[in-house]
Structure 1
Amino acid sequence: MRTRSFLEYTISRRHNRRRSRQQQEAVTLIPDPIPMADDRPMAEQLQAPTGGFESAIVVPPINAQNFELKSSLINLVQNRIFRGGNDEEPHAHIRHFESITNNQRYPDVPNTTIKLLLFPFSLDGVAKTWLDKEPPNSILTWDDLVSKFINFFFPPSKC
């Protein structure tokens, strides 16, 4: 099925130079098909994309009933923010963060899950940008997060 009209052109050619009569030959040119527009409604096409913005940290499913992080715990973590400056020590930040989170107990919620949930609240500036630039779903465990954090802010070359 043709969706566009095709064009016919007549091209004159000389098959034999000795003859003065020109033979006419019809050539049909079909233009390249243009891809059809998206079938979605215009309002949907104009919306900003929402996919591909997953967090780097994968938090395991929580089986506890009515689990929520208390705002007081988040405020406690945010009292000592790591910004990623040269004068900040990433090892000290991890030690301080673990001292806060190790004292928190929730039934049916592993402590490492609480750490993974809270850690983004302890970052700002360059450190927050580092976490945002990590590939989606690339941090699966607390040990993985600590390893990537320390290697970025305290690389082996500083030892």
Structure 2
Amino acid sequence: MKFPNVPSTSVKLMLFPFSLEGAARIWLEKEPPRSILTWECIFVSKFINKFFPPSKTTNLQNEITRFQQRFDETFYEAWDRFNDLLRACPHHGFSELHQLDTFYNALNSNDQDSLNSAAGGNFLDKMPRDI
């Protein structure tokens, strides 16, 4: 959604309350009026710290880093599960290249070969935008 002369962060800030429910909605309603004036304030310093304490973030980051395709798991199932982990920790801090590298190295050799073939060479030699 774009409005002329209105920064996208202002639109995010305006719409953010409508994306919450349950504990997150209660948390926002308890915040003092005018205590959240910028997107960075709400998302980084308040929301993330409340719902993703450092120990939870570290645990989720470790799960992403240690990801492995299961023996009986198809490529698509592994991809879905990996993306679920990334969504569970939206502030994981891993670059797109790091995410692709982690996922590729977690796959069985047959699925790695399929990705290399689809990429027209070594998958990891490609740039993320080309993949």
- What range is the shorter-chain TM-score in? 0.3 to 0.5
Q: Which has the larger radius of gyration?
A: 1
Structure that is richer in strand per residue: 1
Structure that is richer in helix per residue: 2
TM-score by length of 2: 0.41
TM-score by length of 1: 0.34
Q: Which has the higher contact order (CA 8 A, sep 6+)?
A: 1
